Amino acid sequence: MNVQELKPLQLQAYNYIKEKIVSGEYSFNRTYSETSIAQEIGISRTPVRDAVHILYQEGLIDIQPSRGFVLHRITERDVIETYEVRSAIESYCAQKLAQETDTAVRAEAVAALEGSLARQRAIYESGADPAAFSEEDRNFHLQLVGSSRNDAFIEVFTKYMYWIKILASYSLSVAGRMGRTIEEHSRIFEAIKAGDGAGAYNACIAHIKAPLDLNLDSIYKQITK
């Protein structure tokens, strides 16, 4: 079963739990009961259980038989997998957008990326709020992938969005990383704007790889301790 196959009550439970996870309301140090969640929502336990199994398949939680579930703690494999998925999808999308022949599509995407860059610089210059910057960083990459108009890419990328957000929030808290992120985004944008497919591809690969060591070392230790 996948999200598209969920019935209304199952989808309601899925969206309720996922929002709690993504917003940070659920913590890593607690077990969550399907029965309690069902009571909170006002539905039976069965659709909640079905939603939990989907979230388990997405890698967001780990099921504890007869007890409930806990948030999945990111592993080294998760970090590497996220890096590889991003590299494959985003770099191709950057290259494709740089070489886009539909001028209307290209103009809209370039304008969206330029607007995101401007907002990133504004956040950085007004106090560098990591949470606000992380959200705009997320928007920049969603715009990039969305410009491909490839539903399969968008679906896979969205599946990894939670981990991308978690990893970005940690890397952006490292001194100097926010400023370097803007520089890297700018290189991607300028290559796309110039129609340089290879340059856009390489700039995107370099940007995604830049915080990898941080993720595998200090970040990984912080979120698994």
Q: pLDDT tens digit string along 103-145?
A: 999 999 999 999 999 999 999 999 878 888 988 999 999 999 9
Residues 91 and 169 in one domain: yes
- In 3D space, the residue among 100, 78, 77, 80 whose CA is nearest the CA of residue 88 turns out to be 80
Residues 171 and 195 in one domain: yes
CA distance 169 to 180: 14
Q: Specify the pairing of strand 61-64 against strand 68-71.
A: antiparallel
Residue 172's domain comprises: 76-224
Residues 148 and 38 in one domain: no
Reported pTM: 0.81
Neighbours of 165 (CB within 10 A): 15
Listed range (84-88, 138-142, 167-171, 214-218) with the worst mean pLDDT: 214-218
In contact, 82 and 141? CB cutoff 8 Å: no
CA distance 101 to 147: 13
- In 3D space, the residue among 69, 110, 73 whose CA is nearest the CA of residue 200 turns out to be 110
Phi and psi, residue 21, nearest 5° = -70, -55
Structure confidence at residue 221 as a pLDDT band (50, 70, 90): low
Residues 195 and 169 in one domain: yes
Structure tokens of 214? 């941080």
Residues 94 and 139 in one domain: yes
Q: How is residue 54 annotated by DSSP? A: H
